[in-house]
Amino acid sequence: MSGDRKRSFGLERRLATTLQLGTWVGSCIIAVGWVLSATGEPPSLPTAAVAIVRAGIALFILLPALRVLLMVVVFVCERDYRFGAIAALVLAVIVVGAALGVRMAGAVPG
């Protein structure tokens, strides 16, 4: 296997592991929130359950950005600065889009 193929395989393996682990963790967090919501004995528990479910959903939303961040780190460590810069630009677009989305959601009445 050539050096480029080994590098590509290693990157794909890291990305796949990150996404699989993130998906499992997010799913488990949401499941815990659902179980707490279903049992819901103390009155304060449903609000905690909703917060836990929201945390799991937030993790699912953050997974693509985490993938791009991992790509930036890997490319820079391998001194592939062109692809590192491209990945950093994609990450910047994701961050700016998320920031604008949060800001615009706060500006919308209702």
Distance between CA atoms of residues 79 and 88, nearest Å: 14
DSSP state, residue 23: H
The answer, as to whether pTM is greater than 0.85, is no
Q: 7-41 pLDDT, tens per residue?
A: 667 778 888 888 899 999 999 999 998 888 888 66
Q: How far apart are CA 85 and CA 69, in angstroms?
A: 11
DSSP string spanning 42-98?
Answer: STTHHHHHHHHHHHHHHHHHHHHHHHHHHHHHHHHHTT-HHHHHHHHHHHHHHHHHH
Count of CB atoms situated within 10 Å of the CB of 81:
11
Would you give the distance in Å from CA 6 to the centre of its chain? 26
> Per-residue pLDDT tens for 35-91?
888 886 666 666 788 888 999 999 998 898 998 998 899 889 889 999 999 999 999
Q: What is the Cα–Cα distance from 78 to 73, expressed in whole angstroms?
A: 9
Q: In Å, what is the CA distance from 57 to each residue of 3, 26, 49, 50, 88?
A: 38, 7, 12, 11, 24
